[in-house]
Structures are given as structure tokens and as C-alpha cells.
Amino acid sequence: MLKIKKQKTEAVKRKRKKLTPIQAVKGMRDILPPEQFIWDYVLENSKKLCHNFGFGRIETPILEYTELFHRGVGQITDIVEKEMFSFETQGKDAVSLRPEGTAGIARAYVENGMSKWSQPVKLYYEGPMFRYENPQAGRYRQFHQFGFEIFGDECPAIDAQIIYLAWKIFQKIGIKNTIIQLNSIGCGECRPAYKKLLTDYYEMKIHKLCPDCKRRLSDNPLRLLDCKEEKCAQVSSGVPQIIDHLCEACHDHFKNVLEFLDELEISYVLNSSLVRGLDYYTKTVFEIWEVGKEGSQSSLGGGGRYDDLVGILGGETVPAVGFSFGVERAVERLLQGGLHLDQKIEREVFLVQLGNMARKKILSLFNNLIDARISVGESLGRGSIKSQLRMANRFNSKLALIIGQKEALDGTIIIRDMESGMQEVITMESVIAEVKKRLKG
């Protein structure tokens, strides 16, 4: 008896003491229902375009062995050096939350024997990625990418097609003010000699470089080209241009990519300092920037050719090219451009009730309307008819179905045309057919 009383008092005490609310992990955020409409809009349009271009959907695990990113993305990259969420499993496996999608998809290509499929293999994907970055606008620790990759075709026309599709997605969703930044970073043939040139150049000015660049100079001098530190950018302004040091094959490839893009009539800017932050690229690299935001770090998306990656991951050498964009960044641009959160929340029919008996009727009518594929809204908690009709207007409903005590007893319902305000009493049995008829009309 005493024990029960004690337990009760402690429960009351616990109830009284307000606990500190738990927040989402730093750099990670909730995507709430109103925003989901814009997410759906972006993803549905992107998927539709990918389907039209012959891509099939792939999903790979969020968790991969850490070695995949060490080998694929590269040891001397920001992503691998500083940004991975890596840990050891209970079985002592070193794993990481994927910081990007391409390495996992190339792994899946090898593991699932896709080189035996009819080539090229065209895959698209979407999902969360994780990078331990400093959170700020457009930069999160959990973010989402939509991307697409083509394996098994080395033709420069494929690079142009990927670039075109990337550009087209932004056009389609209404981010039209974009510019393609384009460069070639050569291949295993020509890049070593260019890297040597770069190293010689930067070594002469090493005292002017930031600590990161000094450290990277010997292992990955290409990364110095896009360092955002002011003093490093100044040093880089006089650097030898890679375009002038491409081997014949890379030079021809790039020339052809440009010609195909000209044919497609999309404008681009040649950007010799664009090297991308991942080591797997060969030949073409590109990013899509918003006009007016050039030079900022927040590109909408990026991609390029990566002919060596499948080989690096243990497959036979297979040429490949791809692109991905940050969904948060696209959604944010659309919101900044005035796309309103509730713009797309619509219900064809709104159910209005007055009193408990009416509420009971509404519950099953709601289900019947949904079964008949009619989008329906309700507000079971609200009292006044006026406030419920206001909600119907907000949802842009064409019809309101109103039940009070009398209608609930009679087995009738009032159907109201929200535009004209005309009302009519109909029987409960005829309601679905009547609604369908009026919605069609």
C-alpha cells in the first residue's frame, strides 16, 4: 500500500517537473507536411524526366563499408578527411553513413554484375546523404540528393546528355536562372604531368597558401585550384590552365562535349578552376549555379565523368558519367522564388459537421469518399459551421458536405457548391454518386 502511494507521488512529481525538450541532431532537420508538397513536386518532376530519358531507379544502403569512400571518393578530400559519420559496428566492421551516392552505385554496379546487362546502364536515385559540415543555409549534416548515372558509354554525347538532363530538371521545376560551369580535368594519362606543373607553381608561392593547401600540395594539388581562401584564390589566378595540358584524347573528348552542348543550345561557362571535391572524376566536370550567385559555394548540383571508379572498386574498367543535386537547395530556391508552402494543399470536398451524432456519420463518410478516390478534408475538432466553411475555402474545395443533428437523424446531407453558395439536401446513399457527378461537371 505504502509502495503504491510512493510510486504515485513520484509519478506526480515527474509530471510536474518540465523536462528539457530533445532537439534534432545539429545540422539535421525535420521536413514538415507543408514543405513536403514542394519536395514531392521537385522529386516527382525529376523522376518523370529520368523515366523519359530511360533511367531506372536504384536504391543502395545508407550505410557502406568506410573503405568504399576511401577508395572511391579519395583519402585526400574534405569529405573523407573531415566530413564522414564513421563508426565501428558491434561486429567490428568500419562503416560510414554515405556522404554521396555515386560510390555506392558504382559498388552496386560491380556487385550485381551490371556489366553483363545491356549497356549503357542508366540509373537514378534519391535519398539522404550525411556530411559532418558546418551547418548554414543550404548546408546540412543530413541532406538529400537526387542523382543519375550512366555506366558503360564513353561517348562525349553522353556527357552532354547528362548535362542537358541536369539543366532540364531545373528548368522544369522553375529554377530557370541557371548557368552550367564546365571544365575538363583530364585523365590518368595527362593529369600527372599537369599535377607536377601545379606543384612546381604552388611550391614557389607556398608561404602564401592556407594550412590546408600547404598540406594537400604534395598529395592532391588539383584541390588547391578551388580553395575558397582569399589568399589562395589570389595565388591561383596565375596558375597554368589544365585545358592547355590535356592529352589528345581528353582534348578531343572535351571539344566534342562542347559541340554537343552547342547543338543542344544550352549555355555554359568554361571554368578552369572547377575541379570538384571528389577524386573519382576524369575528363568532364560540371556544376549548375544560379546566375547571380556565381562564385559562391552553394552550387545547386554537380557531376562529371568518372571512367576509373568502377575499376578502382574492383570491377572491370567501365566508363561512367553522372550528376546529383541537393534537394534542400532546390526547395529553398523555389521558396525564395515565392512558391508558397500551402499552395498545393487542396481538397475536392470538405466535410462539415455539427454535433457528436454528425461526427459519427462524418467518420465513415470520410472513408467512403477516400475509397472513391475523392480528396477530402475535415475538421472534426471545430465547432462552428462558419469556421469549417472558412477551412473549406482555404483548401480550395469545390464542394462542402454539411451534416447537423437533423441530417444525422434523417439520413440526409446538405451539399453546398462552394463557389455559388447554392445548397441542396440529398440522401446519404446518393452522396458519392452526386459528388462524383458535380466534380466532373
Task: Name the residues that contact ligand HAM, by CB under 6 A.
Answer: 100-102, 131, 133, 138-140, 143, 145, 147, 149, 277-278, 299-304, 322-326, 328-329
Q: How far is the CB of 140 from ligand HAM (least distance, A)?
A: 4
Backbone angles phi, psi at 205, to 5 degrees: -120, 25
Residues 6+ apart with CB under 8 A from 129: 97, 98, 99, 100, 101, 142, 143, 144, 145
Q: How far is the CB of 305 from ligand HAM (least distance, A)?
A: 8
Pick 133 or 226: Cβ nearer ligand HAM:
133
Residue 87 bridge partners (DSSP) = 95
Q: How far is the CB of 237 from ligand HAM (least distance, A)?
A: 23
Backbone angles phi, psi at 255, to 5 degrees: -60, -45
Q: How far is the CB of 301 from ligand HAM (least distance, A)?
A: 4
Q: How far is the CB of 319 from ligand HAM (least distance, A)?
A: 12
Helix (H, G, I), strand (E, B) or coil at 279: coil
Q: How far is the CB of 137 from ligand HAM (least distance, A)?
A: 10
Pick 128 or 251: Cβ nearer ligand HAM:
128
Q: Are 311 and 318 in contact (CB under 8 A)?
A: yes
Task: Indicate the length of the chain as a whole number.
Answer: 441
Instruction: Tell me the C-alpha distance between 135 and 141, whole Å.
Output: 7
Pick 27 or 372: Cβ nearer ligand HAM:
27
Pick 181 or 324: Cβ nearer ligand HAM:
324
Pick 260 or 280: Cβ nearer ligand HAM:
280
Direct distance between the N- and C-terminal alpha carbons of the chain, in angstroms, rounded to an integer: 70
Q: How far is the CB of 20 from ligand HAM (least distance, A)?
A: 28
Q: Are 90 and 23 in contact (CB under 8 A)?
A: no
Strand (E) or helix (H) holding 376: strand 376-378
Strands 268-270 and 178-184: parallel
Instruction: Tell me the C-alpha distance between 228 and 205, whole Å.
Output: 17
Q: How far is the CB of 299 from ligand HAM (least distance, A)?
A: 4
Instruction: Tell me the C-alpha distance between 305 and 162, whole Å.
Output: 10
Q: For the purposes of burial, counting CB atoms within 10 Å of the CB of 394, is it exposed (0-12), middle (13-18) or buried (19 or more)? A: middle
Pick 159 or 348: Cβ nearer ligand HAM:
159
Q: How far is the CB of 221 from ligand HAM (least distance, A)?
A: 20
Q: Which residue in the block uniquely carries the three cell numbers 531507379?
A: 57
- Which residue type sits at 432? I
With residues binned 3-state (H G I as helix, E B as strand, rest as coil), the percentages for the chain, rounded to 5, are: 45, 20, 35
Residue 321 bridge partners (DSSP) = 150, 305
Pick 131 or 223: Cβ nearer ligand HAM:
131
DSSP per-residue codes, 82-148: H---EEE-TT--EEEE-S-SHHHHHHHHHHTTGGGSSSSEEEEEEEEEE-----BTTB-SEEEEEEE
Pick 139 or 293: Cβ nearer ligand HAM:
139
Pick 139 or 208: Cβ nearer ligand HAM:
139
Q: How far is the CB of 130 from ligand HAM (least distance, A)?
A: 9
In the numeric block, which cell numbers belong to residue 14?
A: 515527474
Q: How far is the CB of 200 from ligand HAM (least distance, A)?
A: 29
Cα-based angle 235, 237, 242 (whole degrees, multiple of 5): 110
Pick 310 or 408: Cβ nearer ligand HAM:
310
Q: Are 275 and 222 in contact (CB under 8 A)?
A: yes
Pick 162 or 389: Cβ nearer ligand HAM:
162
